[in-house]
Structure 1
Amino acid sequence: MFTGIVEHMGVVIDYKDYDASKSGGGGISVMIGESAQVLSDCHIGDSIAVNGICLTVTEYGPSWFKVGVSPETIRRTNVASWVPGSKVNLERAVGQDVRFGGHYVQGHVDTTAKIVSCTPEDNSLVFGFQLRDKEYENYIVEKGFICIDGTSLTITNVDSNGTFYISMIKHTQECVVMPLKKVGDLVNIEVDLTGKIIEKQVFAQLEQQLNSETSPLSKLISKLIDAKLAKTST
């Protein structure tokens, strides 16, 4: 679990499509450098969020660490766009002594979004985004939480076409990678888990109610149908 409060910006120093080493496991691996700030208590198998993606440390040194990347992660995220020199947001998994300054973040990226605008507003930057996968628009709500490239942010506005906006203060601009990106670049998106849980519970309850003829909902629907039929026959 993470908070979406970025601890440090690291740099991609190596990206292998096939890593035959023991720590690479015969798959895709990425090595992140300039990362000493998040490695003081590191162990093999630890989770570190890299641009919001929960990844497992398979090898590390004083200022670098390696992670494996699954094909599912490649499909869901912007990892394929990383090249040596790319800066990435880093956050260690929360411990008992961590203040919860952001919001509940799993590090399980849902989809990507394209940056469609970046507008200065006083000393803040207002970014606009459009989701790649429209089904996640249901979870994008004004003043709700969203995690963008591992950064916990508040949605300030949502247009009728699905474009949503965040406002980034000066301090955050200096601590995360987004201001280094340009319009057209992709960012990783994790929507607020709360919305997904509520949706699943509502649909499960509705399905249970509809499948039972004696449930309050089924009785109400039958009553409404009978009333409609009675009105139509008169």
Structure 2
Amino acid sequence: MTGPTRVLVCDDQILVRTGLTTIIDAQSDMAVVGECGDGRAAVDLAHRLRPDVVVMDVRMPVLDGIDATRELAGAGVPDPVKVLVVTTFNLDEYVYEALRAGASGFLLKDAPPNRLLQGVRTVASGTALLAPEVTRQLVGKYASRIRPAEAERDVPLTPRELEVLRLIAEGLSNSEIAGALVISPETVKTFVSRILAKLSLRDRVQAVVYAYRNGIVA
């Protein structure tokens, strides 16, 4: 990616929106290209401005963040836009729905600024982001909905790849997986890439859902 990461900020609370915009715009490698207060405006602006990342709130008027995310990044959307959901509701059902709608990442609004910035950079690079605490809470609450009655049996992964996938589903980052398995972070990245390719998955978010849907983790 050349030039600064182009970011669209969407939040219906003007103070929050201004804070997010200020933090992001202060970075030399980022530029806020637009901001708005509802999901419909977010979709319209994203189509017009083509940002690299949309920072999206969930609960908003006119069109909520879930439906806006689905229009921008859902299955079958041509040239989808990367969406990073940032909200106050870490145990809300909307979290699960937003990820199903195609969001590339999820962070809580009480995360420190450096984590927000890291999240924008991570999503912009094409890597999905799920805060570990959110992953654990999400799958813990909605595992029964994610997993069908009978899990698929033939998972085309090696034992080591299955081990890495289990740790991804538990919310571990690449560096944490490397420490747990006593391998290098570069090796973990290779395993993650292979897993996504073999399972035809877009990102780590889909990998987490896949793991629970197929009974790879309980």
Q: TM-score scaled to structure 1, two decimals?
A: 0.27
More strand by share: 1
Higher relative contact order (CA 8 A, sep 6+): 1
Larger Rg: 1
Q: TM-score scaled to structure 2, two decimals?
A: 0.29
